[in-house]
Amino acid sequence: MLDNDSNKIASLDLRDQFLIAMPGLNDPDFDHAVIYICHQDDEGAMGLIVNQLTDSSLQELLSQVDIELNEELHQVEVADAHRVFYGGPVRQEQGFVLHSRDDNQFEDADNVSDTLALSGSLEVLKAIARGEGPKDFLVCLGYAGWGPGQLEAEIQNNSWLTAPAQASILFNSKVEQRWRDAVASLGFDPSLLQSTAGHA
């Protein structure tokens, strides 16, 4: 029975899924984290934490790479979409943009799903700064990464829940509410999950 469960987990297609940290996960980087999985293959997996903000604004990040923000966008600087997210503990100096796949496609973008793409170049940031970027986007610094079989083992050890990703949670839920919304999308009461969590 364990072998069958292991085989099921090993064959999971986690791309375009949410990883939802269980309350007992003993890692401060991933405390109540919701991670969007962008890539998975035999060499491991990569994702972005989508519910933790850095102290930087989009305007500050753009100025660091000599991109000037469109004057009109200064007025919405306080919106979550104009904050910079903590994408994860790996390569925190590297930026990523998770964004909707609109009519304005970007050459370097990796299409993660039918509706979402991931870009790591300045092209999409320049378009956002001009007010011509994708409709929905998250700008992240760093990412979360796992080696071959590592994430599957963590799921088997009940460190994570998995759920189909929802754009409404990614781009519309308040950042501090995203963990609860992701848990609720599975039909669980987040408060019950909190109260029954043990220590891993």
Amino acid at 191: S
Name the maximum alpha-carbon separation found in the chain. 60
Residue 150 pLDDT grade (very low, low, confident, very high; cuts 50, 70, 90)? very high
Residue 161 domain-assigned (yes or no): yes
Amino acid at 145: G
Q: What is the CATH number of the domain that holds 80?
A: 3.40.1740.10
Print the domain residue range for 22.
2-93+142-194
**Domain assignment of residue 130, yes or no:** no
- For residue 58, being part of any structural domain is answered with yes
**pLDDT grade for 12, boundaries at 50, 70 and 90:** confident
Cα 67 to Cα 87: distance, rounded to the nearest angstrom: 21
In a domain, 111, yes or no: no
Average pLDDT over residues 103-122: 86
Structural domain contains residue 39: yes
Nearest Cα to 17, choosing from 154, 116, 85, 137? Answer: 116
Whether 88 is covered by a domain: the verdict is yes
Residues 191, 27: Cα–Cα separation, whole Å: 20
Question: How many domains are contained in the chain?
Answer: 1
In a domain, 117, yes or no: no
In a domain, 136, yes or no: no
Position 7 confidence tier, pLDDT thresholds 50, 70, 90 = very low
- The length of the chain is 200
Task: Note whether 53 and 61 are within 8 A (CB).
Answer: no
Joined together, the tokens standing for residue 136 give 């929905």
Give the pLDDT band of residue 167 (cuts 50, 70, 90). very high
